[in-house]
Amino acid sequence: MIATRDAYGEVLAELGAENGDVVVLDADLSGSTKTSSFAKKFPERFFNMGIAEANMVGTAAGLAASGKIPFASTFAIFAVGRAWEQVRQSVAYPKANVKIVATHSGVTVGEDGGSHQSVEDIAIMRAVPNMTVIVPADGVETKKAIRAAAAYNGPVYVRLGRNKVPTLFDDSYEFAIGKGCQLRDGSDLTFVATGLMTAQAVAAAEILAGVGVSARVVHIPTVKPIDEELILAAARETGAIVTAEEHSVIGGLGGAVAELLGERCPVLLKRVGVQDRFGTSGKAEDLLKYFGLMPENLVEAAKELLGKK
């Protein structure tokens, strides 16, 4: 088990050694975002911008205009919340080659509380044209996603978390931007999940198997551009979709799937996520229960849909 932010710290330092154009920016959270690993090895290419996220994003855009590959990091709510307009105007609108990699997303930020728990970041990045949005599930996928982001020419938002998460993938996994993957086949319904909720979905599928329900699990690491074909196939073949994200049910993965299904393949849909509420202080594991983000909650959602079939 490794936190996705730790995997980020490791791969960033690797990238720094491989590519002299990679530069990193942070906003006084380098110890938490793990950009400190890069900073220690390549201090001349690391720019702490202090508690000034708007300037950090703009500076990253300027570095990209100078031919560098900037990775700009801070907590999710500050990276794309506070600096939303800078991401939109200075990065996305000019198609600047900037990678915003935010850690501490979702409610599992824990004790810091609601002010620090972003439940909106996927939604507000998804709505921005030219933006690619990636939410890796584990450390292995994070490293591959960061490498893919570095190789891709254009704006990317990568959403990472604070805490250790189960490892779902091994090195044979072929990550590609825009491609989801089926982790488990099934015929009665499909869990479409992202980030840490994918592991929760796998656990839920196992519980359901015990009571004779065959649940497919589809992992969607790239929320934008979303893997439409994989989701539509699941809709056509299983007839019921439960989305799962550590994010508001408004505008994130659930929103994206609802948009797709509504137009192309209307089937039973239930969005599991934070129910349009702010986060609150607590231990991460308690908050997952409190906000209904446990395998049991996914099982309940599945049963609700099956009851309507």
Partner 1 sequence: MKDKIARLQEKARKLRIDIVRTLHRSKSGHTGGSLSVIDMLTVLYYHKMRHDPANPKWAQRDRLVLSKGHAAPAQYVALADCGYFPKEDLQMLRQLGGHLQGHPDSKGTPGVEVCTGSLGQGLSMAVGMALGLSLDKSSNRVYAVLGDGELQEGQIWEAAMSAAHYRLDNLCILIDANGLQIDGEVAKVMNVESIGDKFRAFGCHVLEIDGHDIAAIVAALDEAEQVKGKPTAVVARTVKGKGVSFFENKASYHGVTPSDEELPRALQCLGDCCD
Site for partner 1 in 187-246 (CB under 8 A): none
Q: Examine residue 89 and tell whether it contacts partner 1 (CB under 8 A).
A: yes
Q: Pseudo-torsion of CA 102, 108, 112, 118, nearest 10°? A: 50
Please say whether the beta carbons of 5 and 31 come within 8 A: no
- In the chain, what is the straight-line distance between the N-terminal and C-terminal CA atoms, in Å? 37
Q: Examine residue 96 and tell whether it contacts partner 1 (CB under 8 A).
A: yes
**Active-site residue set:** 53
Shortest Cβ 83–partner 1 spacing (Å): 9
Please say whether the beta carbons of 79 and 53 come within 8 A: yes
Shortest Cβ 109–partner 1 spacing (Å): 24
CA distance 37 to 266: 46
CA distance 225 to 179: 9
Number of residues that bind partner 1 (CB under 8 A): 30
Nearer to partner 1, 84 or 291 (CB): 84
Strand order in the sheet with 189-193: 181-184, 215-219, 189-193, 240-248, 268-274
Q: Examine residue 147 and tell whether it contacts partner 1 (CB under 8 A).
A: no
Q: In the set 90, 163, 200, 222, which binds partner 1 (CB under 8 A)?
A: 90
Nearer to partner 1, 85 or 259 (CB): 85
Shortest Cβ 49–partner 1 spacing (Å): 6
Q: In the set 23, 156, 226, 294, which binds partner 1 (CB under 8 A)?
A: 23
Shortest Cβ 154–partner 1 spacing (Å): 12
Looking at 47-128, list the stretches that DSSP marks H as alpha helix, in order from N- to C-terminal side: 53-65, 76, 84-86, 121-126
Looking at the chain, list the stretches that DSSP marks H as alpha helix, in order from N- to C-terminal side: 4-18, 30-33, 36-41, 53-65, 76, 84-86, 121-126, 139-151, 197-210, 228-238, 253-264, 284-290, 295-308
Site for partner 1 in 280-299 (CB under 8 A): none
Classify each residue of 76-108 as buried b or exposed e, where b means 16 or more C-beta atoms within 10 Å of its C-beta: bbbbbbbbbebbbebbbeeebbbbbbbbbbbbb
Shortest Cβ 67–partner 1 spacing (Å): 7
Query: Contact region for partner 1 (CB under 8 A) — 11-19, 81-89, 219-227, 292-300?
Result: 81-89
Nearer to partner 1, 70 or 136 (CB): 70
Nearer to partner 1, 61 or 148 (CB): 61
Site for partner 1 in 40-79 (CB under 8 A): 44-45, 47, 49-50, 52, 54-55, 57-68, 70
> Closest by alpha carbon to 98, among 143, 59, 137?
59
Cis peptide before 70 (omega within 30 of 0): no
Shortest Cβ 197–partner 1 spacing (Å): 35
Nearer to partner 1, 20 or 262 (CB): 20
Nearer to partner 1, 75 or 191 (CB): 75
* Interacting residues toward partner 1 by CB under 8 A: 23, 44-45, 47, 49-50, 52, 54-55, 57-68, 70, 85-86, 89-90, 93-96
